[in-house]
Amino acid sequence: MDIVITDSSIRKFLDTPADSEMLSQNVSLCGPTFDRIKKIDGDFVYEIEAITNRVDTASAQGVAREAATILTQFNIPAKFINDPYKENLSFPDSQAKQFNLNIERDLVIRLVALSLENISVKPSSKETQSFLENCGQRPLNNCVDITNELTLLYGLPSHIFDLDKLAAQNLTIRESKRGESITTLDDKKNILIDGDIVIEDGSDRLVDLCGIMGGQVAEVDDHTKNILLIVPVYNPQKIRKTSLRLQKRTLAAQIFEKQPDPELCLPVLSKAVQLFKERTGAVISSPLFDYYPANRSPKIISLDFNWLNTFVGLDIKKETVIDILASLGFGGTKEGNGLACSVPSWRYHDINIREDLAEEVARIYGYFRLPSVLPCVNLPAEPKNHLFKTELKSKIFLSDIGYHEIYNNSLISLQAIEKSGQDSSRFIKLKNSLSQDFEYLRTSLIPSALENHKHNQGKADKQIKTFEIANCYQKTEGQELPKEISYLAILSEGDYRKTKGDLEALFQKLRVKDISFEPSKVLPPFYNTVATADIYSEKLMIGYIGSIKSAVSRNFGLTNSLIATEINLDSLVSKISQEYVYHPISEYPSIIEDLTVASEKSLGDIIEAIKSTSKLVKDIQYLDSFKGKHSFRISFQNNEKNLEQAEINSLKEIILDLFKV
Amino acid sequence: MLSLKSMGTKINEIDEIKLELKRDLRDSFSSDSVDQLNTKYLGKQGKINTLFKTLPVKTDPKIGRQINELKNLIQEMLSAKLTETMGDEQHSIDVTIPGTEIPRGSLHLVTQAIEEIETIFLRLGFVRRRYPEVETDWYYAEGLNIPKEHPARDDQETFYVGDNTVLTAHTSNGQLREMELKKSPPIKMINIGKTYRRQIDASHTPMFHQFEGLVIDKEINITNLLGVTEYFAKSYFGQDRRTRLRPHHFQFTEPSFEIDVTCGVCQGTGVIHKIPCKVCKSGWLELGGAGMVHPNVLRNGGLNPDECTGFAFGWGVERVLMMKSNLPDLRLIYSDDIRFLKQF
C-alpha cells in the first residue's frame, strides 16, 4: 500500500542529522521504498510504498523506527524517539458511564473507547491543516483532524461520534443484515449484505460502517459538545470484503484489512485524549472501555547463526545480528549458537519462521553489501526438448520466406467461434471474462488468423501471409485440466501450390520424416471439403492444408481466396529424424527428359506410378497440366554406370504404357 | 671507348623502368590513367626518349636494341591494359539502383525477446520448461502458500476457468511441477510461458508472457540470486546496467525481493537535462519479483527444507522488452498490423 507523509512528521519520531535525500535513499534500499519526493513549504512530502505485510510501517512512526535502524547501519547517527509503546498511560476510572458497547463475537480484535465532553469545535491550526493537505487529506475541523492526523502518525485509525446524536448511547457492534443501509460521511447510501461490520445506536440506526467510513447520523459538526472516541482493530477479512465490494478503499480500510497491532490502541487513545484536551478544551467524561477478548501469547523463534550465514551467503558478525534485531524491537536470549527471538507486538503477523528473521538481518545489513555469486549447480544431462527448437526453427524459416508472425490472444469471442462454423460447447469458457472479445480458449489458431487478415485489408500493399505458433486447449473428458497442444497455423492469400511448396520446404528444413498429403477425411469446419489435404508424416496425421470455405471467409469479411495450414507441433516433433543418413552421390550424369501423359488420376498418384516404374527414376518435376494431359520433367540416373539413350527410351515407353487408355 | 661502367648503368635503368611500369600498371584502374602512363613512358619527354637522348654517341648497339625492345614491350603492355580497363568501363553499374526485393516476413518482438532470454539462461546451465497455462488451484495458489482466505486471492486479476481451475496469472505453478518432476535437487529451470490477467491499459494486456527461474540445491543462498540477476541484467540490458534488491513480500518466497535495474534513459541518475526522468523512479526501473523459496513451498513440492534451499523469480517478457524499446504503449506489442510487425 502507498502512503503519503511528510518529512517533518517522520522527524517527530526520528532524531537524525540525515537530510531528506540521505533518509529516502538509504531507507529505500533496506525498508519501505520512497517512490517520490516533493518539496512543499520548506517540508518534504514522501510517497512511500509500505510492503503489503508490513502495515506497521504505514505511518510516520513506523517509517521512523525503520529509518533509525537503517541509518545506523550506514553509520549515520539516528535515534527512534517518542516511542508510543514506551509512553506512560493512565486513564481516570472514577467517571460516570456515558455509553454502553456490546460487541458480537469474532468481529473485533480489540476496541478501546472513552467519551469526552466540553468540546468546542473550530478549524484546526494552520500547521495541522497544511500537514493534512500535504498528505492528501481534507482538513474538516479540529476534532476530525485529530483522528486523521493520528492515523498518519501512528498507522492506527480512530473514529469519533457526536454522543448526543446517538439515540440511546447504547451501541452494538454486529454484522449487518442483507438489505440494511447506511449513509456514510461521503454522502453515499450503501446497501449492505450479510456480514459487514456495523455499529447500531440502539434505535435500529446504523452509525458506522466499521473500519471503512463513519455514518452521517452521528457526524461531528460545529455544534458538537460531547463525543465518543473509539480506537479499534477489526477482523481484517471482513473489512477487506466490505471495502472491496463497496469499492470504498479508504486509508482506514487499507490499514484495518492488514490487521494493525492491537497493542497500539491504548497509546493512540492516550495521544488522542491529549490532543483533544489541547485543541478542543475537552474533558474526559467516562472510564476507559477496553475490549480485548483474546490476548496473544508471546511468539518466540529460534535463529541459529551458522544457518543464518549459510542462508544469506555471507558471514555477518553475531554482534551485528543482535544489534539489528534489537533495534527493530526484537527481544532475544542466547540459545546454543544462536538466539531465541521474541517478536514485538507490531510484527506479530509477518514474522513466523527463521527465514523471516534472516530477512530482517540481511535487509538491514544491506542487500547491496552482498556479493553476486553465480550458483554452482550441475544438472545431470537432460533429454533434448525438440518442441522449443522446432518452434523457433519454424518461426525463423517462415519469417525468412515472407510470412509475418503474429501473437493473438489465446481467448476468442463467441462470435469468432460461430463465424468459423465451430461448436462453442467444445470450448472452455472463462467464468469471469474481461469482455466478450476474450471469453473462450482457442481450439484452433485459424479464426484469429482470419481476423488478422481482415484487420490488414487495405493496409498491406502486398499479399498478406501470416503465421502463429501457440497453444490450443482441448477439453478432455474426465480430466480437470485441458490438453494444451502447440500448433502452427499459416494463413496466406494466393494459391495452394505455392503455400504447399513453402510448407514442404519447412518440413525438409525440420527434417520431418516421409511427408504425404491426402485428400482430407477429417475436416475442421472452416475448410472447403474438396480443397483440403490431411498431412501425414509416415502414418501419423500431423495437420491440414486447404482452402477456407467461402462462407467462412465471408463471415470474416474477407473476399480473397485463402489457404490455411494448421500443424500439430507436438505430433510433428515425434516425427523429426534424429539421425543423419548419408547417400553416396552418383559419379554418372543424370539424363533429363520431358514427358506428357494423359490421365484422370490425381497428380500424386501419377507421380507415384512413374516413380515405381524403375529405380533409375531419380526425380520427377511437375511442369503443368492442360486438358487432362500432364507434363513432367524426369531425371534418370544410374549410380553404377552411364545410361544409354536406348535404355532411357525403353523406360519412357514403360511409363507411357502405364497411361495408355 | 665506352666504359663498361656506363653500359652497366643503362642496363640497370632499363630494369628499373620495367619494374616501375609493373607497379604503375598494378595501380592504374582507368583508361585515363593508362593514357597518362603512355605519356610518362612513350611521350616526347617520356622515359624511353630520355633514355635514347642520354645515350653516349658511341654506344654498344646492343643497348639500343634493348631499349627498342623495352619500347615495344611497354607499347604492348599499355595497349593490353587499355583494352582491359575500357572493357570494364563499358560495364559500369549504377550502384545506387535498388536491390531486387525478396519476400520479407517478420519475427515477432516477443519471439525475439524470448529467444534472447532463453539463450542467456541456457548459457548459465538452466533447462527450459513449459508448464500448463490452465492450472489447478493447488499448483497456482494453495501449494504456493496462498491459503483460501488470503487477500492475495481476491486480487480480481485472475481469470477463472472452473471452481478449482484458473488461467494462470503467473508462471510460478511451474515451481511445484518442476519439483515433482525432478523429485530431488538439483533443480535449475527457466519456465517461459503465457500468463493472463484481467487488466488492460497502457502497461497491461490481458495476455502476456513471464519467465520463471527456479534454482534449488544444497546451500543455495541470497548471493546466488544476486549473481543470476546481475548476469541476466548485464547480458540482456547491457554491461553498464546495475541491479539492486529491495525488500518485498510474496507468499511463496521468504525473504522476498523487488529487483530494480538502472534506467537506460537517464543512465540511472533519475535526471535528464535537470528534469526528473519520466521513464523511471529516481534512476531505477522495476524488473520484477524474486525471493528465496518458502519452506512450505519446498515441502509442498516434496522436498525437505532442512536439506535444500532455493531461489525463484518471475519476470515479464513484455516488461523487459518495454524497458529496452521506445514503444509508448504495451498494447502495441499485440497489434496485428503488418506495418507495425515488419518494423522488427
| 3-class SS letters over A443-476 | CCCHHHHHHHHHHHCCCCCCCCEEEEEEEEEECC
Find the angle CA(B106)-CA(B319)-CA(A57) to the nearest 5 degrees.
175
User: According to the model, what pLDDT value does residue A313 have?
Assistant: 95
Q: What is the mean pLDDT of residues B190-206?
A: 92
One domain for residues A253 and A324:
no
Whether B38 shows a pLDDT value over 70: the answer reads yes
Q: Which three cell numbers stand for residue A205?
A: 440506526
Find the angle CA(B46)-CA(B52)-CA(B56) to the nearest 5 degrees.
145
Most B CBs within 10 Å, among A399, A427, A476, to test the B interface? A399
In-domain check, residue A611: yes
Inter-helix orientation angle A318-327/A354-365, to 10°: 100
One domain for residues A364 and A421:
no
Closest CA to A451 of A441, A473, A466, A440: A466
- Chain B CB contacts of A465 below 8 Å: 103, 105
One domain for residues A484 and A561:
yes
Distances (CA, A) of B251 to A529, B172, B308: 53, 11, 19
In-domain check, residue A17: yes
* Global pTM value: 0.88
Q: Is B102 exposed, middle or buried (0-12, 13-18, 19+ CB in 10 A)?
A: exposed
Q: How far apart are CA A115 and CA A282, in angstroms?
A: 10
Query: Of A240, A362, A379, which has the smallest distance from its Cβ to B255's Cβ?
Result: A362
In-domain check, residue A250: yes
Q: Which helix (H) or strand (E) holds A138?
A: none
The CATH number linked to A108 is 3.50.40.10
One domain for residues A568 and A633:
no
Cis peptide bond prior to B98, omega within 30° of 0? no
One domain for residues A444 and A403:
yes
Q: How far apart are CA B84 and CA B31, in angstroms?
A: 9
User: According to the model, what pLDDT value does residue A494 have?
Assistant: 81
Q: Which three cell numbers stand for residue A278?
A: 489541547
In-domain check, residue A89: no
> How does pLDDT run across A9-58, given as a tens digit for each residue?
999 999 999 999 999 999 998 999 998 899 998 899 999 999 999 999 99
Distances (CA, A) of A44 to A326, A594, B241: 29, 89, 30
Most B CBs within 10 Å, among A350, A377, A399, to test the B interface? A377
Distances (CA, A) of A505 to A8, A29, A155, A266, A600: 72, 55, 68, 79, 28
> How does pLDDT run across A117-144, given as a tens digit for each residue?
999 999 999 999 999 999 999 999 999 9
> How does pLDDT run across B108-158, given as a tens digit for each residue?
999 999 999 999 999 999 999 999 999 999 999 999 999 988 877 776 789
Domain boundary among A319, A342, A369: A369
Whether B276 shows a pLDDT value over 70: the answer reads yes
Q: Give me chain B's average pLDDT, please.
A: 91
One domain for residues A483 and A605:
no
Query: What Rg value do the Cα atoms of chain B yield, rounded?
Result: 38
Q: How far apart are CA A586 and CA B212, in angstroms?
A: 52
Q: What is the mean pLDDT of residues A226-244?
A: 95
Q: Which three cell numbers stand for residue B96?
A: 545506387
In-domain check, residue A207: yes
In-domain check, residue A319: yes
The alpha-helical segments, DSSP class H, found in B28-60 are: 31-42, 47-53
Q: Which residues contact B283 (CB under 8 A, 6 or more apart)?
A: B262, B263, B266, B267, B268, B269, B270, B271, B277
Give the residue numbers spanning the domain of A158: 100-291
User: According to the model, what pLDDT value does residue B4 have?
Assistant: 60
The CATH number linked to A469 is 3.30.930.10
Residue A344 CA, distance from chain mean position: 32
| Cβ contact, residue pair A455, B336, below 8 Å | yes
- Find, in chain A, the residue whose alpha carbon is nearest to that of B130: A388
> How does pLDDT run across A376-395, given as a tens digit for each residue?
988 889 888 899 999 999 99
| Cβ contact, residue pair B110, A407, below 8 Å | yes
- Using an 8 Å Cβ cutoff, are A210 and A192 in contact? no
Q: What is the mean pLDDT of residues A638-644?
A: 90
- Chain A CB contacts of B229 below 8 Å: 372
- Using an 8 Å Cβ cutoff, are A530 and A590 in contact? no
Q: Is B106 on the interface with A (CB under 8 A)?
A: yes
Whether B5 shows a pLDDT value over 70: the answer reads no
Q: Give me chain A's average pLDDT, please.
A: 94
In-domain check, residue A275: yes
**Total tally of structural domains belonging to chain A:** 5
Burial A59-71 (b: 16+ CB within 10 A, else e): bbbbbbbbbbbbb
Most B CBs within 10 Å, among A39, A359, A361, to test the B interface? A359
> How does pLDDT run across A439-490, given as a tens digit for each residue?
999 999 999 999 999 999 988 767 899 999 999 999 998 899 999 999 999 9
3-state secondary structure of A372: coil
Q: Which amino acid, A238?
A: K
| Cβ contact, residue pair A375, B217, below 8 Å | yes
- Chain B CB contacts of A311 below 8 Å: 221-222, 292, 309
| Cβ contact, residue pair A456, B136, below 8 Å | no
One domain for residues A547 and A472:
yes
| Cβ contact, residue pair A406, B215, below 8 Å | no
Domain boundary among A291, A318, A348: A291
One domain for residues A313 and A252:
no
User: According to the model, what pLDDT value does residue B1 have?
Assistant: 46
- Find, in chain A, the residue whose alpha carbon is nearest to that of B232: A374
The shortest C-alpha distance from B165 to chain A (Å) reads 8
> How does pLDDT run across A45-81, given as a tens digit for each residue?
999 999 999 999 999 999 999 999 999 999 999 999 9
> How does pLDDT run across A505-558, given as a tens digit for each residue?
999 999 999 999 999 987 778 999 899 999 999 999 999 999 999 999 999 999
Chains A and B form CB pairs within 8 A to the count of: 219
Q: Which amino acid, B296?
A: N
Q: Which residues contact B226 (CB under 8 A, 6 or more apart)?
A: A367, A370, A371, A372, A373, B243, B245
The CATH number linked to A345 is 3.30.56.10
Q: How far apart are CA A338 and CA A645, in angstroms?
A: 96
Terminal CA-CA length for chain B: 85
Domain boundary among A269, A291, A313: A291
The CATH number linked to A646 is 3.30.70.380
| Cβ contact, residue pair B133, A411, below 8 Å | no
One domain for residues A172 and A76:
no
Task: Count the neighbouring beta carbons within 10 Å of the beta carbon of residue A197.
Answer: 26
One domain for residues A418 and A508:
yes
Most A CBs within 10 Å, among B108, B110, B121, B225, to test the A interface? B108
Q: Which three cell numbers stand for residue A555?
A: 463471415
Q: Which residues contact B23 (CB under 8 A, 6 or more apart)?
A: none
User: According to the model, what pLDDT value does residue A324 have?
Assistant: 95
Closest CA to B178 of B210, B139, B233, B226: B139
Query: Of A350, A403, A430, which has the smallest distance from its Cβ to B161's Cβ?
Result: A430
DSSP state of A429: B
| A97-101, A187-191, A364-368, B167-171: least confident range | A97-101
- At residue B280 the predicted structure's pLDDT band, cuts being 50, 70 and 90, is confident
> How does pLDDT run across A468-482, given as a tens digit for each residue?
999 999 999 889 999
Q: Which three cell numbers stand for residue A95?
A: 467517571
Query: Of A36, A395, A460, which has the smallest distance from its Cβ to B338's Cβ?
Result: A460
One domain for residues A146 and A287:
yes
Q: What is the mean pLDDT of residues A621-645?
A: 92
User: According to the model, what pLDDT value does residue B269 have?
Assistant: 84
One domain for residues A238 and A323:
no
- Find, in chain B, the residue whose alpha carbon is nearest to that of A364: B247
Q: Which residues contact A657 (CB under 8 A, 6 or more apart)?
A: none
Whether B2 shows a pLDDT value over 70: the answer reads no
Whether A607 shows a pLDDT value over 90: the answer reads yes
- Chain A CB contacts of B248 below 8 Å: 51
The shortest C-alpha distance from A166 to chain B (Å) reads 34
